[in-house]
Amino acid sequence: MRILLDTHTFLWFILDDPQLSTTAKAMIEDPANDVEVSPASYWEIAIKISLRKYSLPQPYQQFMESQIAINDFGILHIEPKHTNLITTMPSHHKDPFDRLLVAQAIAEGIPSSARMCNSTHTACRGSGKPMGTATQNIWVTRL
């Protein structure tokens, strides 16, 4: 299965942060899954570092490149079909990075760990309607 990590899930996994659920960690570590990271996530991390809201144990570029390679993560490049969905997406969440990550997951038909929309953090397309399949919703809500 293909999985798109959101920024927090990516960081929690590579930094072995206890905020990452055991279910999410197991799914990321499962060799049967193709785990992907969006440029939106490393852009968000770079911005937070520049604002001094976050720091990494190594220089940014070295850290990001090595962690993506070491963990064998793929890159889900941003395409017009992804950003097109943003033009009609309800604005339940104002964070542009999360909006793009959810749009990428919807366009690709893959689960995302992005947390959006309601009090249970289920990614949504509309008012109270979960995105995608039951498997995707379980993945999204259990992170």
CA–CA gap between residue 80 and residue 19 (Å, rounded)? 33
Domain that holds residue 33: 2-141
Per-residue pLDDT reduced to its tens digit, 60-69:
999 999 999 9
* Unique residue bearing structure tokens 């941003």: 78
Please state the separation of Cα 21 from the chain's center in Å: 14
Q: pTM of this prediction?
A: 0.77
Question: Are 9 and 24 a contacting pair, CB within 8 Å?
Answer: yes
CA–CA gap between residue 46 and residue 26 (Å, rounded)? 27
Number of domains in the chain: 1
* Unique residue bearing structure tokens 């890159």: 75
CB count within 10 Å of CB 88 equals 8
At 112 the three-state DSSP class reads strand
Per-residue pLDDT reduced to its tens digit, 78-129:
999 999 999 998 877 688 999 999 999 999 999 877 653 332 333 333 323 3
Q: What is the largest CA-CA distance in the chain?
A: 41
Per-residue pLDDT reduced to its tens digit, 37-61:
999 999 999 999 999 998 999 999 9
pLDDT beyond 90 at 133:
no
* Unique residue bearing structure tokens 């990001």: 64
CATH number, domain with residue 126: 3.40.50.1010
Please state the separation of Cα 60 from the chain's center in Å: 19
Predicted local confidence at residue 120, as pLDDT: 36
Predicted local confidence at residue 114, as pLDDT: 63
* Unique residue bearing structure tokens 């009090």: 119
